[in-house]
């Protein structure tokens, strides 16, 4: 009996010691990964799918933080795009040297290769990591990634210089956008990158949530969408009236109007369907309904042309 109690006591002590050791290791790891000091300035990326706020680590990667803030103030990131998106890995911005509109001579002169500033910070979702050429750790310049998931194999190999402070919903949308390989089908563009000098100024800033903003058409984007829907409704009305009240030619005009408007909207919104289940269902159902409408029109036309 005593042997059993002694054995049980030894098991309990061993479990307690293991738990204490794990807790100690966790606390040590947490201390090692204590959140680094964040610069007072923030970089706000105004994209065509919403706004994101980037916080930088001036003590962890001072040269990286300095160059990115300087380039953002000069407008060097205006026009760069997310050219690479890999699920649960990275969303990577393109090189500012090759953006559109092309960088100015002053912007190009301000871009310099950065010496790597490796740290013990881990690559986790939301972390900002500087891109570089393979085998050349000191070749980072302007292209960087926002992590979409944990990537421990990048630790100590790529410079961590900040994190995504706001706009995680925008990052989610970027990750869900339809892609061809790792390249988004629709352009995801930084329309403007601006530097906000203090958290107080940031608090007064209006940030757009995740969504599709048609800056490419200016204010016409919204009107084109509603115009396309209105054209479809008018075409359907002409088609219905042509059965009884107006000549069949008006039905042809109505059908043509529906076809042109639908395919215009189809082409515009297919790239966005990957990030919206409702939109994907609407487009999927729209195609067979369109063919059904064409079939009914053909039957109606033949019916009218048949001698009584």
Picking from 45, 134, 144, the residue whose alpha carbon sits closest to that of residue 95 is: 144
Q: What secondary structure does DSSP assign to 7-29, as a single string? A: HHHHHHHHHHHHHHHHHHHHHHH
Q: What are phi and psi of 204, to 5 degrees?
A: -90, 5
Indicate the pTM of the whole model: 0.67
CB-based contacts of 61, cutoff 8 Å, min separation 6: 117, 119, 130, 159, 160, 161, 162
The one-character DSSP state at 208 is: P
What is the phi-psi region of residue 126: left when phi exceeds 0, alpha when psi lies from -120 to 50, beta otherwise?
Answer: left
Cα–Cα dist 237/135, whole Å: 64
Half-sphere exposure of 144 (CA within 13 A, CB side): 26
Taking a C-beta distance cutoff of 8 angstroms, is the pair 37, 57 a contact?
Answer: yes
Q: CATH says 42-213 is which class? A: mainly beta
Domain boundaries, the chain: 42-213, 217-305
The C-alpha atoms of residue 98 and residue 60 are separated, in whole angstroms, by: 28
Report CA torsion sign: 255, 257, 263, 269.
Answer: negative
Give dist(CA 227, CA 257) in Å, integer. Answer: 12
pLDDT tens across the length of the chain (308 residues): 544 444 444 444 454 455 444 555 444 444 445 789 999 999 999 999 999 999 999 999 999 999 999 999 999 999 999 999 999 999 999 999 999 889 999 999 999 999 999 999 999 999 999 999 999 999 999 999 999 999 999 999 999 999 999 999 999 999 999 899 999 998 999 999 999 998 889 998 999 999 887 654 444 455 566 676 777 777 667 666 666 655 656 566 666 766 777 667 666 666 555 556 666 677 667 778 767 766 766 665 555 544 44
- Three-class SS of residue 163? strand
């Amino acid at each position: 009996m005593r042997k059993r109690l002694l054995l049980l006591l030894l098991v309990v002590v061993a479990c307690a010691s293991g738990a204490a050791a794990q807790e100690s290791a966790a606390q040590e790891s947490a201390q090692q990964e204590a959140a680094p000091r964040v610069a007072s300035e923030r970089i706000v990326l105004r994209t065509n799918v919403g706004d994101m706020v980037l916080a930088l680590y001036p003590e962890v990667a001072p040269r990286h933080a300095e160059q990115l803030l300087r380039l953002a103030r000069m407008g060097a990131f205006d026009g760069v795009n997310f050219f690479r998106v890999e699920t649960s890995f990275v969303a990577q911005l393109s090189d500012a040297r090759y953006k559109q509109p092309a960088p100015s001579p002053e912007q190009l002169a301000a871009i310099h290769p950065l010496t790597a500033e490796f740290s013990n910070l881990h690559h986790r979702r939301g972390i900002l990591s500087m891109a570089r050429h393979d085998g050349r750790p000191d070749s980072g310049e302007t292209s960087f990634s926002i992590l979409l998931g944990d990537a421990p194999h990048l630790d100590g190999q790529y410079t961590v210089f900040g994190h995504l402070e706001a706009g995680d919903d925008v990052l989610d949308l970027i990750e869900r956008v339809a892609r061809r390989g790792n390249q988004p089908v629709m352009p995801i563009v930084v329309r403007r990158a601006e530097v906000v000098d203090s958290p107080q100024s940031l608090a007064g800033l209006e940030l757009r949530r995740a969504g599709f903003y048609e800056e490419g058409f200016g204010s016409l984007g919204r009107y084109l969408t509603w115009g396309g829907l209105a054209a479809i409704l008018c075409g359907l009305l002409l088609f219905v009236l042509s059965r009884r009240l107006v000549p069949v030619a008006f039905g042809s005009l109505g059908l043509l109007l529906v076809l042109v408007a639908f395919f215009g909207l189809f082409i515009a919104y297919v790239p966005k369907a990957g990030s919206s289940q409702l939109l994907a269902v609407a487009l999927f159902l729209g195609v067979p309904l369109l063919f059904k409408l064409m079939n009914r029109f053909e039957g109606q036309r033949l019916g009218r042309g048949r001698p009584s």
